[in-house]
Structure 1
Amino acid sequence: MSLTYLAALAISIGGLAVLDRRLRLALFVQPARTMVTVAGAVVVFLAWDALGVGRGIFFIGDAPYLTGVRLAPQIPVEELLFLVLLTYQTLLLWRWFSRSRDARTRSAPDDGPPGGTSRAVDA
């Protein structure tokens, strides 16, 4: 039994939370919405994992860095934290890129209609 991978995942999720708090991207702006989004994605991915295990596609194999605790046959507890990490990271990246895009759009000068120049019409 080793806590190495579990600890690495927990530290990584903690690092994402620190980054999220500093940049105010998700959890510290809309906590309920963030938790529902991450939990929903994790449930979908766990179902995907269960399907893969049932078909013999996914299996644990030789895993010296896992705790040995299982959520289900061939699904280690570390998988749950990995899926939280994966979905939380994706959500933070999406929010950060969206914010960056919105900031660029707001700061762009209005040079007239797209695709051409505007000319004043003499009356």
Structure 2
Amino acid sequence: MAFLYIGALLVSLGCMALLDRRFTLFFWADARRASIVLVLGLAFFLTWDLAGIGLSIFYRGETDFMTGILLAPELPLEEVFFLALLCYLAMNLFAGAALLLNSTVRREGRS
């Protein structure tokens, strides 16, 4: 059970990639730009987490579903995958919303 949470995160990341591929949203639209955005977002949130940990605001929760591997005090391995999923989801939602908005505008322009 120690790898259940990270497994769920990896499955979710895989699903994000499938949606991205199907609708050409983020990485399949422009892999270079998507990589830069994802790395910058991940770096921002990891810095945020480390600042919160340093200020004793954030603490690691203990659960049997986590690996127990820490990258830094109070920073579990799973946090990196969660933050990557969060960034990927946000960019897929943003690109999907833009795609829907553009298709609606084009459809209304033809009426």
**TM-score bucket of the superposed structures, by smaller chain:** over 0.9
Q: Tell me: CA distance 1:53–1:105, structure 2 relative to 1, closer, same or farther (3 Å).
A: same
SS of 2:67's equivalent? coil
Paired residues, number: 111
Aligned to 2:69: 69
Match of 1:9 in 2: 9
Partner of 2:18: 18
Range with bigger deviation, 87-96 or 58-67: 58-67
Question: Residue by residue, what CA displacement relative to the aligned partner does 1:20-49 show, whole Å, maximum 9, x if unpaired?
Answer: 101111111211111110110000000000
Q: Which stretches in structure 2 are left out of the alignment for 5+ residues? A: none
Percent identity over the alignment? Answer: 33
CA distance in structure 2 between the aligned counterparts of 1:109 and 1:37, rounded to whole angstroms = 32
Give the Cα separation in 2 of the matches to 1:16 and 1:62. Answer: 27
CA distance in structure 2 between the partners assigned to 1:58 and 1:8 by the alignment: 22
| Aligned-partner SS, 2:71 | strand
CA distance in 1, matches of 2:35, 2:10: 16
Q: Does structure 1 residue 58 correspond to structure 2 residue 58?
A: yes
Runs of 4+ in structure 1 deviating by more than 4 angstroms, as ranges, are none
Name the structure where helix makes up a greater proportion of residues: 2
**C-alpha distance 70-100 of structure 1, shift in aligned 2 (>3 A):** same
Shift of 1:62: 2.0
Could you list the runs of 5+ residues in structure 1 that have no partner in the other structure?
112-123
Stretch moving more, 64-73 or 36-45: 64-73
Structure 1 position 110, deviation (Å): 7.2
Matches of 1:52 and 1:108, distance apart in 2: 47
* Larger CA Rg, structure 1 vs 2: 1
Q: TM-score, normalised by structure 2?
A: 0.94
Aligned to 1:33: 33
Tell me, what secondary structure is at the counterpart of 1:71?
strand
- Tell me the C-alpha RMSD between the 2 structures: 1.5
Show the counterpart of 1:117: none
Counterpart amino acid of residue 80 in structure 1: V
The superposition leaves residues 40-65 of structure 1 with CA deviations (integer Å, 9 ceiling, x where unpaired) of 00000000000110111111132221
Q: Which residue number in structure 2 is paired with residue 44 of structure 1? A: 44
